[in-house]
Amino acid sequence: MTRRFYVDPGAIASPTAIITGSDVNHIRNVLRLGEGSRIRVFDGSGAEYEAGIMEVFKDRIAIELMERRESKSESPIELVVSQGFLKGAGMDGLIRPLTELGMTRWAPFTAERSIPVPDEKKTAKRLQRWRTIASESMKQCGRWRIPRISAPVDFKTVITQSDHRLLKIFFYENATTSFDSLPSNSAGTDQRGVHFVIGPEGGFSVNEAGFAIENGFHPVSLGPRILRSETAATAACTLIQHLFGDL
């Protein structure tokens, strides 16, 4: 199996490129690849290349880019996931499965019943961690695009700034509308994907539900059982990819 590695778009000067970061140690000391070894590299924006190692340095790997390949692993729809802040490492644990399922953007937010409120001083570190998790998951599952990770905002900002071209879904435990009643043309020419919103552990308030509905979100139930937020997000992503994407 040909190994895949990330290369920063700014480090590409076709027909050559430079690999830096943690992958250097992995290539040099774990895989023990050297001059002439064949690998694959991706730039996180949709391009992947067959490549050959030209020279191995202590802090970088010089490669030659060969054949550019077209992506066959990205979902045909844009899939934006807005998740209410969870306790502990709950947010970290969601990034990996949602990336594997084709999430294109992660948009965390604080709600009325969010228990943890993001610390501004720690936000930058959390964002970097989430981006690292998404990148590592992308390598494992064969995707070519790294999901965009947005900085946390408040609930109303998530709702009002939602792209009007996306089908808007609001998963709500008190909703009476079933998932299979969503508009059948949601993946058609007028809409390019889905934006769904999942609440924190305490769910949404009545006021938040009303605000989402007023702003064009469809309130939808995930069934008769109350699901943990982590379970709900993964289940919702799977169902949406099945109905409108490539599962």
Domains defined for the chain, CATH in brackets:
4-69 (2.40.240.20), 78-244 (3.40.1280.10)
Q: Model confidence over 71-87: pLDDT tens digits?
A: 778 888 999 999 998 88
Q: From CA 57, how far away is CA 129, in angstroms rounded?
A: 27
**Which single residue is written with the structure tokens 């294109």?**
104
Q: How many other CB atoms sit within 10 Å of the CB of residue 158?
A: 24
Torsion sign (Cα): 101, 106, 107, 109: positive
| pLDDT given for residue 118 in this prediction | 66
Q: Model confidence over 143-169: pLDDT tens digits?
A: 888 899 999 999 999 999 999 889 999
| pLDDT given for residue 213 in this prediction | 94
| pLDDT given for residue 187 in this prediction | 45
Q: From CA 136, how far away is CA 95, in angstroms rounded?
A: 10
Q: Which pTM value belongs to this model?
A: 0.81
Q: From CA 236, how far away is CA 168, in angstroms rounded?
A: 13
Mean pLDDT by 10 residues, the chain (247 residues): 79 87 87 88 80 90 86 86 88 94 94 75 85 87 88 94 92 83 54 88 91 94 88 93 88
CA dihedral 115, 121, 127, 129 (to 10 degrees): -90
| pLDDT given for residue 175 in this prediction | 86
| pLDDT given for residue 1 in this prediction | 62
| pLDDT given for residue 117 in this prediction | 66
CA dihedral 140, 145, 151, 154 (to 10 degrees): -100
- At 42, is the secondary structure helix, strand, or coil? strand
Q: Model confidence over 118-135: pLDDT tens digits?
A: 667 778 888 889 988 998
| pLDDT given for residue 244 in this prediction | 87
| pLDDT given for residue 121 in this prediction | 74
Q: From CA 219, how far away is CA 28, in angstroms rounded?
A: 51
